[in-house]
Amino acid sequence: MHIRKLLEQRFQQAFQQAGAPADANPQLAPAGRPEFGDYQANGAMAVAKSLRQPPRALAQKVVDALDLSDIASKVEIAGPGFINITLHDTWLGKRLDGALSEAHLGVEPAAQPQTMVVDYSSPNLAKEMHVGHLRSTIIGDAVVRVLEFLGHRVIRQNHVGDWGTQFGMLIAYIEHVSSGGAAQLSLALEDLEGFYRNAKQKFDAEPAFADTARAYVVKLQAGDAHCLRLWQQFIDTSMSHCERVYERLGVTLRRGDVKAESAYNTDLPWVIADLGKQKLLRESEGAQCVFLDEFTGKDGAPLPVIVQKSDGGYLYATTDLAALRHRGSELRADRVLYFVDARQSLHLKQVFAVARLAGYVPSTCSLEHLAFGTMMGEDGKPFKTRAGGTVKLMELLDEAEQRAYVVVSGKNPELSEGELRAIARSVGVAAVKYADLAKNRINDYIFSWDQMLALDGNTAPYLLYACARINSIFRKGELSDTHFTGHIRLEHPAERKLGLALLRLGEVVEAVAADCNPNLLCSYLYDLAGLFMQFYEACPVLKAEDATRSSRLLLCRHTAAVLQRGLDLLGIETIAQM
């Protein structure tokens, strides 16, 4: 159990003995200032109010009832009724010894593991992956890793777009190119983006081709074998491209996590029929709609959720409903998380509302849209290439590696070319991912090479450097595992601060799991790296003697482990040197 939870339990008991209701929240938090100790309980003021008692008097009763003698060296009341707790140095040392001996670094699995369905990445397979897919992919993957680390059952759902109207056009174009032979086709498919562009061009220029394309959409949806075969060929090529991107990004999505739009194809008529049976449908201008009172449009009239077009075709709302039913009723999710652009928030609200109304998800199932803002260039406008096109992820990563190479080789020219290349590969990807993860999801995000590759501040290079620096201590000391013995003793203030921070990993990871905000973990790791630098500055490690030396070595080792684990949870790999 992490420290805050432990204190919470002790305080809850004490609050009850002091006359507070059973559900009173002691409001435990890390201390806001060093002079307030290590943790503070802020709940006395609120509870005193509901009990109509003077807050300081209640705080005193709580402290009287509280028994922290085994873990705290000081408990005092301050200000209007804050209760400040200072923990025993020796107790902290023992906690650290214990945490260090575990693979999970003292983080306990969730008491009640849940089933989490996580919808992220979900690119459209008609084109190459581009920057628009980056945030969902990176943030979603980090949250997935955190949830799994806490022992939850995570079901990834890569809801790729493989079934829109563009696919008729692409199939027709495949057929056109194949007339030049199989080799011609595989060559053409190597450049997916170019393939799409050429198909579109032909579509716009040649009415006959456009007619064929439109006819193929219908044939495809009717299950025509020829069209399906061509379609499958295209999908396979495009999926392989996505997998190369995932591989390079270090994203955990695999082929088995794909649950494409087309997978719900046969459910769509059922959804319409079922909504009809439940009297939720109303026809409007020829389309089948669900009207919800809580959503109104331009003239104040209820806004429809169109689930079937007047021509009988289905829309993405229909597919999303089918997906929600699958996730809620078949996968039995406790939480369904959508890492989707903020611009889709109305759409998702509507779909969630319809799904609940129709009973497609249990009422206990939490549906969450984890929205994120748009990626902007440094000019504050949507991030584009110089020519104004969308930035492909592969090209973005190429540039990241090149720029990382320049930075790393400039700072550490004695490394070999091979080492530099390998380091640049890691640093480049890490910089791109970390810059995204470190920011609050909901704001638009300004993409800046200089900032993400900076060696100072809350960046991947700074954290990777901190890891490398710790490693170099071990290298320099020529230490093997047998050297890491003894116990951690927190004597110097810098050691104490570092040790206390190391014990907070569990609190932070739980907060990330609750809010799906990986930036909390980034801030924590950055703070931790800063505390380590301060410790390292103030406390000689290799030059220290006996028990102090082994204690400090253990602190270094634990810091390295927490940094490495934390970065791993963010989907970022660490490197031995840089």
Residues 399-428 binding RNA (CB under 7 A) are 408, 411-412
Q: Which of residues 306-335 bind RNA (CB under 7 A)?
A: 306, 309-311, 313-316, 319
Closest CA to 220 of 161, 167, 268: 167
Q: CA 174 → CA 72, 128, 219, 238, 558, distances in Å?
A: 72, 16, 15, 13, 56
String marking each residue 173-212 x if it binds RNA according to CB under 7 A: ----------------------------------------
Among 9, 165, 232, 266, binds RNA (CB under 7 A): 165
Which one of 127-135, 147-155, 202-210, 444-452 is the stretch in contact with RNA (CB under 7 A)?
444-452
Q: Beta strand 335-338 with 366-369: parallel, antiparallel or unpaired? A: parallel
Show the site string, 254-283: x = touches RNA by CB under 7 A, - = not.
-------x----------------------
Residue 226 binds to RNA (criterion: CB under 7 A): no
Nearest distance in Å: CB 169, RNA? 12
Q: Are 168 and 102 in contact (CB under 8 A)?
A: no
Question: Segment near RNA (CB under 7 A), from 63-71, 87-95, 237-245, 293-301?
Answer: 293-301
Binders in 534-553 for RNA, by CB under 7 A: 534, 536-537, 539-543
The interface region with RNA, picked from 45-53, 90-98, 108-116, 562-570 by CB under 7 A, is: 45-53
* Burial class, 286, CB count within 10 angstroms (exposed 0-12 / middle 13-18 / buried 19+): exposed
273/48 Cα distance (integer angstroms): 56
Nearer to RNA, 79 or 362 (CB): 79
375 touches RNA by CB under 7 A: no
Q: Which of 42, 114, 221, 252 binds RNA (CB under 7 A)?
A: 42
Piece of the chain touching RNA by CB under 7 A; list 15-23, 35-43, 182-190, 353-361: 35-43
**544-552: Cβ within 8 A, 24+ apart:** 547/486, 547/487, 547/489, 548/489, 548/491, 550/483, 550/484, 550/485, 550/486, 550/487, 551/93, 551/486, 551/487, 551/488, 551/489, 551/491, 551/495, 552/495
SS3 content of the chain, % helix, strand, coil (to 5): 55, 10, 30
Q: Which of 411, 429, 435 is nearest to 578 (CA)?
A: 411
d(CA 191, CA 395): 13
By CB under 7 A, is residue 562 in contact with RNA?
no
Amino acid in position 543: K
User: Smallest gap, in angstroms, from Cβ of residue 385 to RNA?
Assistant: 18
Lookup: tokens for 5: 């939870």
Stretch that binds RNA, among 129-137, 223-231, 330-338, 344-352 (CB under 7 A): 344-352
Instruction: Return the residue of 296, 359, 406, 493 that touches RNA, per CB under 7 A.
Output: 296
Is residue 339 close enough to count as binding RNA by CB under 7 A? no
Q: Please identify which residue in 98, 286, 359, 389 interacts with RNA, judged by CB under 7 A.
A: 286
Closer residue to RNA (CB): 353 or 446: 446
Q: In this chain, which of 207, 256, 297, 388 binds RNA, going by CB under 7 A?
A: 297
| 1 vs 346 by CB, closer to RNA | 346
**Span near RNA by CB under 7 A; candidates 101-109, 138-146, 241-249, 341-349:** 341-349
Nearest distance from residue 228's CB to RNA, in Å? 18
The reply on whether position 533 binds RNA by CB under 7 A is: yes
Distances (CA, A) of 497 to 29, 39, 120, 194, 261: 16, 12, 37, 55, 50
Query: How far apart are CB 181 and RNA at their closest, in Å?
Result: 32
By CB under 7 A, what part of segment 141-160 binds RNA?
none
Residue 76 and residue 296 in contact, taking contact as beta carbons nearer than 8 Å: no
Q: Which of 439, 489, 496, 558 binds RNA (CB under 7 A)?
A: 439
User: Is 40 a residue that touches RNA (CB under 7 A)?
Assistant: yes
Closest CA to 562 of 484, 494, 516, 508: 508
- What is the DSSP code string of 208-267? HHHHHHHHHHHHHHTT-HHHHHHHHHHHHHHHHHHHHHHHHHT----GGGB--GGGGGGG
Query: Among the candidate windows 38-46, 149-157, 246-254, 484-492, which touches RNA by CB under 7 A?
Result: 38-46
Binding RNA (rule: CB under 7 A), the pick from 215, 228, 292, 511 is 511
Task: Please measure the distance between the N-terminal and C-terminal CA atoms of the chain and give it in whole angstroms.
Answer: 36
Binding of RNA at residue 84 (CB under 7 A)?
Answer: yes
Stated length of the chain:
578
**Are the beta carbons of 570 and 521 closer than 8 angstroms?**
yes
Inter-residue contact 129 to 528 (CB < 8 Å): no
Q: What does the block give as tokens for 63? A: 């402290």
Binding residue (CB under 7 A) for RNA from 9, 17, 21, 32: 32
- Does position 31 interact with RNA (CB under 7 A)? The reply is yes
DSSP 110: P
Applying CB under 7 A, the site for RNA has a residue count of 100
The DSSP secondary structure of 450-496, one letter per residue, reads HHHT-SSSSSHHHHHHHHHHHHHHHHHHT--GGG--S-----SHHHH
Binding of RNA at residue 124 (CB under 7 A)? yes
Options 6, 46, 75, 215; binder of RNA; rule CB under 7 A: 46
The number of beta carbons lying within 10 Å of the beta carbon of residue 341 is 17
Which residue from 65, 263, 287, 331 is in contact with RNA, where contact means CB under 7 A? 287
The rounded distance, in Å, linking the Cα atoms of 532 and 555 is 9
What gap in Å lies between CA 566 and CA 543, rounded to an integer? 29
Q: Which of 23, 33, 70, 386 binds RNA (CB under 7 A)?
A: 33
Q: How far is the CB of 381 from RNA (least distance, A)?
A: 9
> Whole-number minimum distance, CB 420 to RNA, in Å?
10
| CB closer to RNA out of 9 and 448 | 448
Mark the segment that binds RNA (CB under 7 A) among 77-85, 186-194, 206-214, 351-359.
Answer: 77-85
Cβ(319)–Cβ(308) below 8 Å? no
Phi, psi of 541 (to 5 degrees): -105, -65
Choose, by CB under 7 A, the member of 80, 98, 109, 181 that binds RNA: 80
The footprint of RNA on residues 467-506 (CB under 7 A) is: 468-469, 471-473, 476
Residue 371 contacts residue 402 (beta carbons within 8 Å):
no
Q: Does residue 74 bind RNA (CB under 7 A)?
A: no
